[in-house]
Amino acid sequence: MKIFVSGGAGYIGAITSAELIAAGHQVVVFDNFYQGHAAAVPPEATLIQGDLADINAVRAAFAAHPDIDGIMHFASYTLVGESMEQPLRYLRDNVVSAGNLLEVAVAAGVRRFILSSTANLFDEPEQMPIEADNKIVPGSPYGESKFFIERMLHWFERIYGLKYACLRYFNASGDTPERGEDHDPETHLIPLILQVALGQRPHITVFGNDYPTPDGTCIRDYIHVVDLAQAHILAMEALDRIGARRYNLGNGNGFSVLQVIEAARKVTGHPIPHVIGPRRPGDPAVLIASSAAIRAELGWQPRYPAIETIVASAWEWHRTHPHGYAD
């Protein structure tokens, strides 16, 4: 298939593009380089620099590639904390960009769409692990923007017959030897811990140790980015059969912040000092995914579920790219 990958120069988009190419698909990357890096885009992919906010740029991309079979939509503002400070970046810009892409896609006759969605839809988990049909209560304007795009897809399926899958990522993490996580500013736990191991930070700050968890720190479900990428490919290849689906994606195992730091100490051999800081607003105590639906329906199986494996893969990339793609 020929897949249009919005945000294909970003962390998850670039690694998924590489996996798509390895699986024999063609890839057209569309990215504005807000967080993406040209060096992350696989050389076999066609790269178009453009912004989804500019519908004419999107139209031009689809006019140049009239044979697109499906879309993977990664391009987005993605930070919960930022969305609490700049809500319109999310409630307006994320939604407008997705709307532009959908308008052009439908006009171009594209009928397959995979959305990067989020665990931030589940601010009130009814049970743990969280099932895909858990009640949706977005935890922030970021989560709300993804919920709204999920609803757009619902109506585009009803009105235009668009086949779609929404993949709600829990904590995407890990790297490949060629591509890794390089955000500016970096806010995610594992790359920040590894910056301590690289001597770039004196310590890691743990955001709160008074949560109702065994060691008092937040528990998250870390999922290797290559396992996420494989889920996208499985879903895209199955869309004609499955139609309209929403899946939660995680390993079904939770690790506390202190457990992740401990895994990084083992992997890197560095003492990685930590200090306890205040809670980060908006962080729930525990988020663990049930991926039962995608396992049962698509046969998805994570290849790299162990936290040490995830951290080791990230360490390999950060050790060899201490300044990210600038190296």
Among all residues, which ones are annotated catalytic?
Answer: 142
Least Å from the CB of residue 7 to ligand UDP:
17
Site membership for ligand UDP, residue 188 (CB under 6 A): yes
What does the alpha-carbon distance between residue 287 and residue 128 come to, in Å, rounded to a whole number? 7
- Which residue in the shown chain puts its C-beta closest to ligand UDP? 218
Element (H, E) at 146: helix 141-160
How far apart are the C-alpha atoms of 318 and 165, rounded to whole Å?
32
Q: For the chain, how far is it from start to end, CA to CA, in angstroms? A: 33
Rounded least distance, CB 279 to ligand UDP, Å: 7
Q: How far is the CB of 131 from ligand UDP (least distance, A)?
A: 19
Which is closer to ligand UDP, CB of 65 or CB of 183? 183
Quick one: which segment of 36-44, 92-100, 200-208, 228-236 binds ligand UDP (CB under 6 A)?
A: 200-208
- CB-nearer residue toward ligand UDP: 46 or 195: 195
Of 265, 299, 171, which is closest to residue 224 (Cα–Cα)?
Answer: 171
CA dihedral over 180, 186, 187, 189, signed as positive or negative? positive
Per CB under 6 A, which of residues 210..229 are in contact with ligand UDP? 218, 220
Smallest separation (angstroms) from ligand UDP to the CB of 224: 14
**Nearer CB in complex with ligand UDP: 158/280:** 280
Q: Is the four-CA dihedral 266, 267, 270, 271 of positive or negative sign?
A: negative
- The values of phi and psi at residue 28, to 5°, are -115, 115
Quick one: 205 or 253, whose CB is closer to ligand UDP?
205
> C-beta of 123: minimal distance to ligand UDP in Å?
13
113: closest CA among 72, 61, 154, 55? 72
By CB under 6 A, residue 189 contacts ligand UDP: yes
The distance from CA 314 to its chain's CA centroid, rounded to whole angstroms, is: 15
Q: Which residue, 197 or 257, has its beta carbon nearer to ligand UDP? A: 257
The yes or no reply on residue 57 touching ligand UDP (CB under 6 A) is no
- Least distance (Å) between residue 317 CB and ligand UDP: 16
Would you give the binding string for ligand UDP spanning residues 86-115, x where CB under 6 A is met?
------------------------------
Q: Does 77 bind ligand UDP (CB under 6 A)?
A: no
Using a 10 angstrom Cβ sphere, with 0-12 exposed, 13-18 middle and 19 or more buried, the burial of residue 151 is: exposed
Q: Give dist(CA 133, CA 240) in Å, integer.
A: 21
Interface stretch with ligand UDP, choices 56-64, 146-154, 177-185, 186-194 (CB under 6 A): 186-194
Number of Cβ within 10 Å of residue 141's Cβ equals 22
Comparison of 205 and 309: residue with beta carbon closer to ligand UDP: 205
Looking at the chain, which runs of residues are DSSP E strands? Answer: 2-6, 26-31, 46-49, 70-73, 112-118, 163-169, 171-173, 204-207, 219-220, 222-224, 244-249, 255-256, 274-277, 286-287
Nearer to ligand UDP, 215 or 237 (CB): 215
Would you state the structure tokens that stand for residue 231, as one six-digit string? 């889920």
- CB of 116: closest distance to ligand UDP in angstroms? 13
Among the listed residues 103, 283, 297, 316, the single contact to ligand UDP using CB under 6 A: 283
Of 245-274, binders to ligand UDP (CB under 6 A) are 257
Give the footprint of ligand UDP on this chain (CB under 6 A). Answer: 80, 171, 187-189, 192, 204-207, 218, 220, 257, 280, 283
